[in-house]
Amino acid sequence: MSERRYQAREIEAKWQAVWAQERTWEVPNRAVPDSASARPHPPAARHDGPRRDKSYVVEMLPYPSGEPHIGHLKNYAIGDAIAHFRRRTGHRVLHPMGYDSFGLPAENNAIKTGVHPRVATEQSIAAFQRAFRSWGISIDWSREIASHEPEYYRWTQWIFLQLYRRGLAYRKESAVNWCPNDQTVLANEQVVDGRCERCGHVVELRQLEQWFFRITDYADRLLDDLDTIDWPEHVKTMQRNWIGRSVGAEVNFRCQELGIDYPVFTTRPDTLFGATFFVMAPEHPDVLRLAAGTENERAVRDYVNHALTESAEERGDLDKTKTGVFLGRTVTNPVTGEEIPMWVADYVLMEYGTGAIMAVPAHDERDFAFARAYDLPIRQVVAPRDGSPVPSDEAYVTKADDAILVNSGDFNGLTPKAGFERIVHWLDMEGIGHPSVNFRLRDWLVSRQRYWGCPIPIVYCPACGMVPVPEEQLPVVLPDIQEYQPKGRSPLAAAEEWVNTACPECGGAARRETDTMDTFVDSSWYFLRYCDARNDAAAWDPAVLREWMSVDQYIGGVEHAILHLLYARFFVKALADMGLLDVQEPFNALFTQGMILGPDGQKMSKSRGNVIPPTPLIERFGADAVRTYILNMGPPDQDAAWNDNALTGAHRLLSRLYTLGAELAADSDPSLAAAAETLAQPVEPTGDGLTLVRKANWAIDRVTSEFVGRFGFHNAIAAVTELVNDLYRLPRADAEARRFAIATAASLIFPFAPHLGAEVFELATGRRAWEEPWPAADPAMLVAESFELVCQVNGRVRDRVQAPSGAPREELERLALAAPGVIAHLDGQEVVKVVVVPDKLVNVVVR
RNA sequence: GCCGCGGUGGUGGAACGGUAGACACGGCGGACUCAAAAUCCGCUGCCGGAAACGGUGUGAGGGUUCGAAUCCCUCCCGCGGUACCA
């Protein structure tokens, strides 16, 4: 008995060295043979044998801040398992890595400590690199990128210019979200419940000139193309809600006194006859003009001033009673001809629709509440078809077919749906309205008044105006500065020698744009750069993208369901429209992993003190055990609480498998081991050997189906566990059957515990697991010659008897009726019916 | 409010409409040991029973079915998203 204890550290170091030395996971591009030849690949690294399907597997790139945490490990353990499986099922797998290395936390850290963000970020990147290697993640390191490096952001700037050129990047003054703590503007997507997503401060609205990307141009396609991708339904739903498409009509309401038309957007043109007043947002530019000269002028002015100073949070409070002020003017309801009063009220939002609404209090809850508060008329124009009364204390909002229009002139008696169509058509004919679609989605605000980000490649010239930096002058390099403290403008503005530049057009004195880009810009295209990461002549070669895009499997946290995933989709569509790319969607399949919670079931956080740092665990139990445990915690898309004990269970499984491999290698005749050239299962196993061979095939089938299906890796690991347990239970099975079963277990655990899998596979076969094709289950071994027939009486199990597989129904029925447990429960009752499920059960129905 | 996802032993979780609780953790018992750890073996939903076995059981209540954790209806609870979006 030699040393047979499972020493994870030794085994892991051994295989990590092999993979690093042989660059096992590097995959050259095929489209441009020369692009990869700068670094010669040893023969073992070649994957260019017979034509293989490509598979592009990407995990969301990490934001490098401090040390990696256990959630990163989960993310990459899932992706790595998938990458390994795809490699072994005949795919050329691209599995790269990079860092989303610009961003606020590094800059805030710099403000606190004075350490340059680049220094802190690069330290963190080094920690991530060490971690990825010690975890044994199969990464193609030849394609590594970091978004803060000029070699990368040069092309981020290039993409900005392409968008600018096509009018998709533009500068505009508007009311924007301003975080007073971080001293920068934020995208709509970064404001959560009226607060800054990062620091939690209440966000203010400020009127500022900022850079936007015209993502709203793509609203329809971003919505429609969700149907073409294999994403979790809840993520698609979140995106649909965020885009928020509403179908309705635009209708003109004319103010006769001033001779101005005011269009409104409504999703209920069918209720137009019930519009009894008209409301404008306090920010509407015409509000003060309308009120001017009326007796309400002063009240309106006060109301508007008050509304503008309120925070988004206060204004959004639903419980607050509705307020507003009469403008002293009227507009004409275009269908009734009535003059209806104009009001200003803060429940109307300037950002949505036209900033003005027609109010139909009878059929809209908000209008109802407002009408009640100010005693405005409420006219019912939709009623139940059967004439039943509607409650008088709330709005009747139905548009179902059991309701009909009333008090609506020629349109009486129509269903709301039909009324919608007819009224819109009539408005169109009369030239006072038309069908219209509105989106909730706003353009993406991309400029930030912060230092640690990608400079916007624009120059302001007193003579030429706004001038894009010529492409050949890229990158606009982010200069080093000393003072990071934001002062309401970018800290870059203080870097005078950088800011002052020559106008690319006239050569005169000009100033650089000092805002930087939102870091979500950097991460909206990195998966494109991976494909052609070392290209220094272009962001990518379109031919290379044709080889790899789209991403076949994307893996990441659901917290990016809207922001990153929407922005990346927009980028791909915009770039495709420019002819730079052939696909419409970046990520064909998405998997969202759940969070690992602390042992207390709460989200891990330093303040709670429930953080599980991965490194000590890996030193103690090995990366394989931690990876296996994390994937065994439950369905990987669900949140799960950490449990140290369960981790030792995963370690025990690997240890037991290792012992089997070590004993096999020690006990077997060396010539036999050497002769095990083929991995074929024993030809005609018998007894326990047959049981083991069957179990191994069953496990192959189960593990494979989890990879093909829902990534239920906990079930896959359970199947391997059962196989290992059987190997312990059946020590006397013949040697070749055991060898086959042990090799199979090692082969199947390899995607989850690659070092241990490789080690045991080598012990059992002398070969390398990752160079072997994924095992295929032998159909003949998936069925036994007999099975346990479940015998039920009235649906309750009363006995179990052995029956031959494939036996005819009559025989199964006969066996069941003869089973003692069944006879005991028949008890002289009449057999009404016998249900037979072949190879499974018989149910005897008695009365 | 609206949209989405869930609710199964002490715990994490299994289960094409066909044996509910695989596998793991925890617990109990045993082997090995001077002893402990490690390792190995066995038992473990609940109630009754020494056992065989019987009853009961998947948030609640109905329904469909020979048979329901699974399908349908009503409701309760939890989680996530979103919300004066006209």
Q: Which tens digit of pLDDT belongs to each residue from A264-318?
A: 999 999 999 999 999 999 989 999 999 988 899 999 999 988 887 776 667 766 6
Q: Are A346 and A310 spatial neighbours (Cβ–Cβ below 8 Å)?
A: yes
Q: If you count them, how many residues does chain A have?
A: 847
**What average pLDDT does the segment A624-644 reach?**
92
* pLDDT range class, residue A233, cuts 50, 70, 90: confident
The protein footprint on chain B, as nucleotides within 7 A of a CB, is 3-5, 11-16, 18-20, 22-26, 39-42, 53-55, 66-68, 80-86
Question: Rounded to the nearest 10 degrees, how much is the dihedral formed by the CA atoms of A248, A250, A255, A259?
Answer: -170
Distance, Å, A359 CA → B20 C1': 56
**What average pLDDT does the segment A39-61 reach?**
62
User: How many alpha carbons fall within 13 Å on the CB side of residue A827?
Assistant: 7
- pLDDT at res. A37: 43
Rg over CA atoms, chain A: 34
Sign of the Cα pseudo-torsion (A657, A663, A668, A671, in order): positive
User: How far is the C-alpha of A166 from the C-alpha of A161, rounded, in Å?
Assistant: 9
Average pLDDT, chain A: 89
Q: Which residues of A370-406 are buried (b: 16+ CB within 10 A; e: fewer)?
A: bbeebebebbbbbbeeeeeeeeeeebbeebeeebbbb
User: What ipTM was predicted for this assembly?
Assistant: 0.94
How is residue A116 written in tokens? 């340059």
Which range (A312-316, A589-593, A745-749) has the least confidence?
Answer: A312-316
> Could you tell me where the beta strands, DSSP code E, fall in A333-478?
339-345, 356-359, 382-384, 403-405, 433-439, 444-445, 447-448, 458-461, 465-468
Distance, Å, A550 CA → B48 C1': 62
Distance, Å, A451 CA → B69 C1': 56
- With distances taken from each CA to the C1' atom of nucleotide B14, the closest residue turns out to be A715
* A51 pLDDT above the threshold of 70: no
The closest nt to A233, taking CA to C1', is B4
User: How far is the C-alpha of A274 from the C-alpha of A276, rounded, in Å?
Assistant: 6
Q: Are A334 and A254 spatial neighbours (Cβ–Cβ below 8 Å)?
A: yes
Partner residues linked to A58 by β-bridges: A554
Quote helix, strand, coil % in chain A, to nearest 5.
45, 20, 35
* A81 pLDDT above the threshold of 90: yes
- Report which secondary-structure segment, H or E, holds A9: helix A8-22
> Measuring CA to CA, which residue among A529, A273, A525, A501 is closest to residue A377?
A273
Distance, Å, A721 CA → B27 C1': 21
Which range (A24-33, A108-117, A328-337, A631-640) has the least confidence?
Answer: A24-33
Sign of the Cα pseudo-torsion (A470, A474, A480, A485, in order): positive
DSSP line for A632-659: HSS-TTS-EE--HHHHHHHHHHHHHHHH
Considering only the C-alpha atoms of chain A, give the largest distance between any 2 of them, rounded to a whole number of Å: 108
* A320 pLDDT above the threshold of 90: no
The closest nt to A364, taking CA to C1', is B86
User: How far is the C-alpha of A42 from the C-alpha of A19, rounded, in Å?
Assistant: 12
Distance, Å, A412 CA → B79 C1': 45
The closest nt to A637, taking CA to C1', is B5
Amino acid (one-letter) located at A160: F
- With distances taken from each CA to the C1' atom of nucleotide B38, the closest residue turns out to be A5
> Measuring CA to CA, which residue among A841, A838, A843, A842 is closest to residue A806?
A838
The closest nt to A248, taking CA to C1', is B86
More confident residue, A585 or A306: A585
By three-state DSSP, how is residue A35 classified? helix
Query: What pTM was computed for the model?
Result: 0.91
* pLDDT range class, residue A1, cuts 50, 70, 90: very low
Distance, Å, A798 CA → B46 C1': 20
User: How far is the C-alpha of A810 from the C-alpha of A426, rounded, in Å?
Assistant: 72
